[in-house]
């Protein structure tokens, strides 16, 4: 599929769209490359958030070819801090609510390395994962999780239903925001879900993005930025009811939505309307909410550039901490490449690679003590406390951390 500009709303189909937020164009944010590929050009793609004036959904203006975004995809669920434990609690709490019969069938869309399904399987349920990345299939198999390699579609759903029967639980975690054709996905879910089944969607949530300045969660893999009000309408259009919502802390702030067939046996929770009320009070379905975000992040940008420019003028050595897809967004938006000599990351898979576009070297945390930078900008600022605690020796030796968001802070 080639790159294309989506001119209508992915959720309701409306063409009544407006620009809500403009960020600097970037390459594919996860395309950290090896030395032999340094001469290959990495194309920049627009990073603009559009707002549907009819249903209030937010999405990127451009959809980048998934083959470009995922051909070198190296993320696995188990490496993400705290996510394995989160999924353990997720399985426990949802099973207590849903109470499926022993041996019931659970399907996970975008199952990655099977981390969630392992926990469902431990309760005696039959499990199956679907994921397009071939590399994770072997990892999942090692955990005893059967996985189909490919994209979940209505056609695949039909085949799974014939082979396994209807699903009591279908989950989709941190994957819906990456899918352009949600209509086909929903048709498959609707068909495969048992009459009394529950579809559980967990996804990054737009409200904390605007409140906490989580600008690093905006990148090309995330083509949708979900909130509850548009989701309620979206599910209704497919003959399904959003009957319960809760906010969860993962990814800086997410929502977990429970959905059933229209007229299902589970009661409607007050949580749905309560959260929609909060959303409307924060104007996240209107341009005004994004204008406030734009003003705040540009103020931070100006201050960070001023701080780094002065340190550079004094001859200070500056490094960055973090080499994720979101860090690419931040480096391009803040426009600070000229000040950052190298990036430090704790994931060995990133080491000795180079950042997307700017080709900043990525090194292990050993570089802190070998190269002895004076200042380190923690681009992975959501994990700042963990990073600073782990590297207390750096500050004990006179080094300083700079935390860029939600406001610029420098440790003494």
Of the candidates 118, 114, 126, the one whose C-alpha atom is nearest the C-alpha of residue 76 is 114
- For the chain, 412 residues long, give each residue's pLDDT as a single digit of tens: 578 899 999 999 999 999 999 999 999 999 999 999 999 889 999 999 999 999 999 999 999 988 787 665 555 555 555 677 888 899 898 988 999 998 999 999 999 889 899 999 999 999 999 998 777 788 888 888 999 998 999 999 999 999 999 999 999 999 999 999 999 999 999 999 999 999 999 999 999 999 999 999 999 999 999 999 999 999 999 999 999 999 998 888 999 999 999 999 999 999 999 999 999 999 999 999 999 999 999 999 999 999 999 999 999 999 999 999 999 999 999 999 999 999 999 999 899 999 999 999 999 999 999 999 999 999 999 999 999 999 999 999 999 999 999 999 999 8
Residue 200 token pair: 């559980």
The domain segmentation of the chain, as residue ranges, is 77-287, 300-410
Segment (H or E) for 294:
helix 287-313
Q: Which residues contact 159 (CB under 8 A, 6 or more apart)?
A: none
- For 288-310, write each residue's pLDDT tens digit: 999 999 999 999 999 999 999 99
Tell me how far apart the alpha carbons of residues 349 and 183 are, in angstroms, rounded to a whole number. 35
Whether 77 contacts 118, CB under 8 Å: no
Length of the chain in terms of residues written = 412
Contact 200, 171 (CB under 8 A): yes
What are the distances in angstroms from CA 244 to CA 182, 199, 228, 231?
20, 11, 10, 12
Handedness of CA 143, 149, 151, 154 (dihedral sign): negative
Pick 300-410's CATH classification: 3.40.50.1370, 3.40.220.10, 3.40.630.30, 3.40.50.720: 3.40.50.720
Alpha carbon distance 59, 62 (integer Å) = 9
Could you read off the pLDDT of 344-397 as tens digits, one per residue? 999 998 999 999 999 999 999 999 999 999 999 999 999 999 999 999 999 999
- Distance between CA atoms of residues 248 and 42, nearest Å: 35
- Give yes or no on whether 77-287 and 300-410 have one common fold: yes
Residue 137's φ and ψ, nearest 5 degrees, are -60, -45
Read off the pTM: 0.91
- Position 2 scores a pLDDT of 72
The CA-based dihedral angle spanning residues 233, 235, 237, 238, taken in that order and rounded to the nearest 10 degrees:
180
CATH topology of domain 77-287: Rossmann fold (3.40.50)
**Residue 40: what pLDDT?**
87
């Amino acid at each position: 599929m080639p790159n294309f500009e989506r001119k209508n709303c992915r959720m309701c189909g409306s063409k009544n769209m407006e620009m809500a937020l403009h960020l600097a164009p970037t390459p594919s944010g996860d395309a950290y490359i090896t030395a032999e590929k340094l001469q290959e050009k990495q194309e920049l793609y627009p990073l603009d958030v559009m707002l549907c004036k009819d249903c209030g959904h937010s999405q990127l203006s451009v959809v980048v070819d998934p083959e470009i975004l995922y051909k070198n995809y190296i993320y696995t669920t188990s490496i993400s801090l705290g996510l394995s434990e989160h999924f353990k609690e997720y399985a426990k709490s949802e099973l207590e609510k849903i109470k499926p019969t022993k041996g019931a069938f659970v399907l996970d869309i975008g199952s990655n390395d099977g981390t969630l399904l392992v926990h469902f399987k431990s309760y005696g349920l039959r499990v199956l994962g679907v994921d397009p990345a071939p590399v994770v299939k072997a990892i999942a198999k090692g955990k005893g999780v059967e996985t189909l390699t490919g994209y979940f579609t209505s056609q695949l759903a039909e085949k799974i239903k014939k082979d396994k029967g209807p699903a009591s639980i279908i989950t989709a975690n941190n994957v819906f925001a990456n899918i352009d054709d949600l209509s086909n996905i929903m048709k498959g879910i609707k068909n495969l879900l048992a009459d009394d089944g529950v579809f559980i969607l967990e996804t990054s949530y737009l409200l904390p993005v605007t409140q906490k300045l989580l600008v690093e969660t905006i990148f090309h893999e995330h083509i949708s930025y979900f909130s509850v009000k548009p989701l309620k309408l979206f599910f209704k259009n497919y003959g399904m009811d959003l009957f319960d919502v809760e906010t969860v802390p993962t990814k800086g702030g997410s929502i977990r939505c429970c959905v059933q067939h229209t007229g299902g046996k589970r009661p409607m929770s007050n949580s749905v309307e309560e959260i929609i009320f909060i959303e409307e009070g924060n104007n996240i379905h209107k341009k005004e909410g994004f204008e406030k975000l734009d003003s705040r992040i540009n103020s931070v940008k100006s201050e960070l550039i001023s701080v780094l420019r002065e340190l550079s003028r004094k001859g200070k050595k500056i490094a960055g901490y973090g080499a994720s897809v979101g860090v690419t967004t931040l480096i391009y938006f803040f426009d600070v490449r000229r000040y950052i000599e190298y990036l430090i990351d704790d994931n060995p898979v990133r080491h000795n690679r180079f950042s997307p576009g700017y080709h900043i070297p990525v090194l292990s945390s050993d570089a802190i003590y070998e190269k002895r930078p004076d200042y380190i900008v923690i681009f992975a600022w959501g994990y700042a406390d963990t990073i600073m605690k782990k590297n207390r020796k750096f500050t004990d030796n006179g080094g300083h951390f700079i935390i860029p968001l939600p406001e610029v802070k420098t440790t003494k």
